[in-house]
Amino acid sequence: MSIKWERIAEELRNEVHSGSLPPGQQLPTEQALRSRFNVSLPVVRQALDRLAAEGLVDKVHGKGTFVRAPRHRVRRTPERYQWEKDRVLLPESQRRRTGATERDTGLTLSDLEFRAVYEVIPANYELASVFGVPLGAKMLKRTYLTRSKLEDVPLNLNHSYLVYDVVAENSALLDANNEPWPGGTQHQLHTIGIEVDRITDLITARPPTPTEIEDLSLAPGVPVFVIRKTSFDHDGRAVEMSDIVTGADRTEFCYTTKLKRFPA
């Protein structure tokens, strides 16, 4: 049986989702909600704190609580990686039409603004262990900040790592001005003779750092998902690793597992 603050949060949540409380509208005062639900102020505040943690409302000190405009949602599925690989051998004209971000968001290329920052860094212990390179080896770090043109913050923070001496075989891969690359990372690796065999996603959740709160414009209490994506070639070598940080208020994961039928 749900407790009082959960029932209040559920009723207000339904009003937000149904549009009865549209984005930008101020919720009734805490006193008004107290009277409406016949509960104490601490119960009302706990319900509002829950909605704020879900990213549905903003609590503005001295002004009240307002419905938060929803962020454009990103839906990740395991099928995206095979979809990317299937496009590697397509002509450039076809690869330029759309990419994985468009697939995940339902947006078009013209709806998005891309920004990529490249830098050369030394491998720390973690990178050296993942890639099997010496500590301090040159790594190419690529930071991707892709956003919908209707929003002022990126969809996520994507930090991608490659072994510098490996990708330097194609100098075009060292230039951020070539982003967004038609066909993405799998095609980039294909240009230097690397075929991705498998990709592992390790998904964890944690509180955001102060920088992540600012960069992703997260409401207080909204956690982040961290997707550690590691791509391997057919020899089992790690060829690319990405840490993708995304707000729980704009991300959903959908995994469908086909099960075998019982023997007849």
Q: Find out whether 165 and 151 touch, Cβ atoms under 8 Å.
A: no
Alpha carbons 197 and 213: distance in angstroms, whole number: 35
* Helix residue ranges, H only, the chain: 4-18, 30-37, 41-53, 79-87, 92-95, 100-105, 125-131, 164-167, 184-190, 210-216
Confidence of residue 135 (pLDDT cuts 50, 70, 90): very high
pLDDT band at 1 (very low <50, low <70, confident <90, very high): very low
Residue 113, classed as helix, strand or coil, is strand
Alpha-carbon gap, residue 232 to 236, rounded angstroms: 6
Proportion of the chain above pLDDT 70, given as a percent: 99
- Over residues 67-106, the pLDDT tens digits come to 887 788 899 999 999 999 999 999 999 999 999 999 999 9
pLDDT of residue 87: 95
Structure tokens at 180: 């967004």
pTM of this prediction? 0.82
Domains, the chain:
4-67 (1.10.10.10), 74-253 (3.40.1410.10)
What does the alpha-carbon distance between residue 20 and residue 42 come to, in Å, rounded to a whole number? 24
234-255 b/e (C-beta count within 10 Å ≥ 16 → b): eeeebbbbbebbbbbbbbeeee
**What pLDDT is stored for residue 2 in this prediction?**
53
> Tell me: the pLDDT tens digits for 143-190?
999 999 988 899 999 999 999 999 999 999 999 999 999 999 999 999
CA-CA distance, 59 to 27, in Å (whole number)? Answer: 10
